[in-house]
Amino acid sequence: MAGSGTMEKESLHSSVESGQGERLHAGTEDRLEKVWRKRTKGHYEEALSAVEEFLESCPKHADGMLMKAQILEEMGRLDESRSTYENVLKIHPDYSRGYREYGRFMLMNEHSLAQAENQLLNGLAINPQDPFAHALLAEVYIQTNRKQQALLHLEIAARFTTEDIRYYEVCARALVKLESKHEKVKHLQRLLVSDFPNRSARSKFHRVLRAHRKDRFRLVFRRMWT
169 contacts: CB under 8 Å, gap ≥ 6 = 6, 204, 205, 208
Residues 142 and 98 in one domain: no
For residue 83, which amino acid is it? S
Residues 147 and 158 in one domain: yes
Residues 2 and 112 in one domain: yes
Q: Which of 98, 127, 156 is the last residue of a domain?
A: 127
What is the spatial distance between Cα 149 and Cα 135, in angstroms, rounded to a whole number?
A: 11
**Could you report the per-residue pLDDT of 55-74, keeping only the tens digit for each?**
999 999 999 999 999 999 99
Q: Which of 127, 142, 172 is the last residue of a domain?
A: 127
Residues 165 and 189 in one domain: yes
pLDDT at 226 over 70: no
Q: Which of 182, 158, 183 is nearest to 170 (CA)?
A: 158
Structural domain total, the chain: 2
**Could you report the per-residue pLDDT of 4-52, keeping only the tens digit for each?**
444 445 645 433 344 333 334 547 888 899 999 999 999 999 999 999 9
Q: Which of 69, 104, 127 is the last residue of a domain?
A: 127
Confidence of residue 150 (pLDDT cuts 50, 70, 90): very high
Q: Domain containing 63: what range?
A: 1-8+15-127
